[in-house]
Amino acid sequence: MPTTTSFACRAAHASLLSSVLLASLVVRSTAFRSRVSQEAFHNMTAESHTHEWQKKTYLFCLNTEQVIECDGENEKMEVSTAMYNRNQKLRKEVCGAELGSKWRSCDVDAKELVTYRCEGTQKCHLIPSDHAHCKDDPLYQMRLVIKCSAGEPRPEPPRGNCPHEQDHPCIEGMAPTTTTEPDPATLAGYAANLPDTARQYLPDAAKKLLDAAPQTTTEKLVVIEEVAPLQVVKAKVTKEIENPYLAELSLVPCYRFSRTAKLMNGQFFGSWRNWEILARLTSCGTNEGCFHLTFPDGSAYTDQNVPPTAEELAQGDLTKAKDSLWVTFRGTGLKRNDYGTWGICLPKTSELQLAVELWEAMRKGKAAGKLVD
C-alpha cells in the first residue's frame, strides 16, 4: 500500500539521519576514540569466526561410512564438537569395534581428526579406519556437531597413508583454508559512507587499501536464481531430513539491532578480516541475511536477551514481499526482519531456494523429533 511504503521510507531516512548525527557526536569523545581504536585493532588481528545459518548433529556408529555435508555447493562447515562414546547400540543398530585403524587412543575428543577432514568443506567423508581404536575399552559411536554458513568451500583433503600404529590421527599436514579477498572498489564504496571523523580512526592497513582503491558507492545487487527444479530441491530436503544418522537439525535465529543501538554500545566497526567496514546489525554471516517471520497471531519476538526456541520459530511463515531497498534484501523476494525483532538467518546465495524449502518442511513438522535450539 502506498501509505505503508511512504511510512517505511520516512522511518528509514529518520533512522539513518539519527545514526549519522549520533556518529558525528560520539566520535569526538576521547573514551570513544580509544574504544574504537581498540576495536578496530582487534578486528584486524582476531581469528575469523563463521556466522552459521544452520546447525546439524550427526550420531553414528564408527564402523559405518558417513557423508557429512552442508546443503548446497556454496556452503562450508565449521566443526563445533566431535566426541566418541562407548554406547554399543544406536537405535536398532549394533555398532562394531573392528575399525582397521592405526590410530591408538582412548581419548573421546576427536575434534582434531574431524577438523582436518571436514572444516571448511561443503562435504566430507568419514570411514571406519579414520577413527581411534581403544584396545581395552572400545569406542563405538561419534556425536558430531557442525555449523553451516554461506561461503566458498575448500576441497576435502586426501586421506593420509599411515602404515604403522601411532598415537594421533592419520593426518598429513593440515590443509589450509583460504579466504577470498574482496574487490577494493567494493570495500571503498562501503567506506565512502563513513564520516571523515570516523574514517581517521581506521587501522593504517585499511587506510592504505582504501586510498589505493577508486572511490565508488556502487554495489552489485544480490540476484537469487532458481538453479534447480523445485522437485529436485524438495527431494534433497526430504533425503536430508530422513537421514537416520542426522540426530538434530536447526536453523539459527537472529536479532536485528538498529545502527543507533550499535553506536550507543560502542560497536562501530565490523570485522576487518571479513572486510566489513561497519558493525553488522545482525549475527548472520557476510553472505547471509536475517529474514522476517509472520506468526499466526501477528506477534513478534522482541527481547534481545531471550531468543525464541526452535519450536516457537517453526510456527512462523517466511514473509514474502516486493523488492524494496527499505524492506527486503535485494533480489531475494523475502522481507528482512524489523529492527528490534528476531528472525532467522538464511543464505543470500543460490542456496536460498533449498534453505526456504527446508524451513517449510521443518515448519510443517516433517523434522519432528529433530528440532533443537
Q: What is the pLDDT of residue 198?
A: 55
d(CA 304, CA 306): 6
pLDDT of residue 250: 87
Strand, helix or coil for residue 370: coil
Q: Where are the beta strands (DSSP E) in the chain?
A: 54-61, 66-69, 75-85, 89-90, 93-94, 123-126, 141-150, 246-251, 253-255, 288-291, 293-294, 317-318, 342-347
For the segment 246-299, what is each residue's pLDDT rounded down to a tens digit?
Answer: 999 888 889 888 866 655 666 555 554 454 545 567 778 778 888 899 998 888
**pLDDT at res. 217:** 33
pLDDT at res. 10:
44
> Given pLDDT bands bounded at 50, 70 and 90, which one contains residue 5?
very low
Measured in degrees and rounded to the nearest 5, phi and psi for residue 354 equal: -65, -40
> Beta-carbon neighbour count of residue 4 at 10 Å?
9
Q: How many CA atoms lie within 13 A of 251 on its CB side?
A: 32
What pLDDT sits at residue 288? 84
Residue-level pLDDT at 204:
61
User: What are 313's three cell numbers?
Assistant: 520459530
* pLDDT score, position 33: 45
Please give the single-letter amino acid code of residue 35: R
Q: What is the CA radius of gyration of the chain?
A: 23
Residue pair 119/79 in contact by the 8 Å Cβ criterion: yes
pTM of the model: 0.70
Instruction: Quote the pLDDT of residue 275.
Output: 45
C-alpha cell at 285: 554471516
d(CA 182, CA 186): 7
* Longest pairwise C-alpha distance within the chain: 74
When comparing pLDDT for 14 and 131, which is higher? Answer: 131
pLDDT digits (tens, 9 = 90+) for 107-163: 999 999 999 999 999 999 999 999 999 999 999 999 999 999 988 899 999 988 888
Alpha-carbon separation of residue 209 from 190, 280, 284 (angstroms) = 13, 21, 26
**CA–CA distances in Å: residue 44 to residues 76, 116, 203, 288:** 23, 25, 8, 21
In the three-class reduction of DSSP (H, G, I as helix; E, B as strand; rest coil), residue 166 is classed as: strand
**For residues 226 and 352, what is the distance between their CA atoms, to the nearest angstrom?**
9
- What pLDDT score does 261 carry? 66
Q: Cα(54)–Cα(150) distance, rounded to whole angstroms?
A: 10
Tell me how far CA of residue 125 lies from CA of 117, 122, 156, in angstroms.
Answer: 8, 11, 8
Q: How many C-beta neighbours within 10 Å does residue 89 have? A: 11
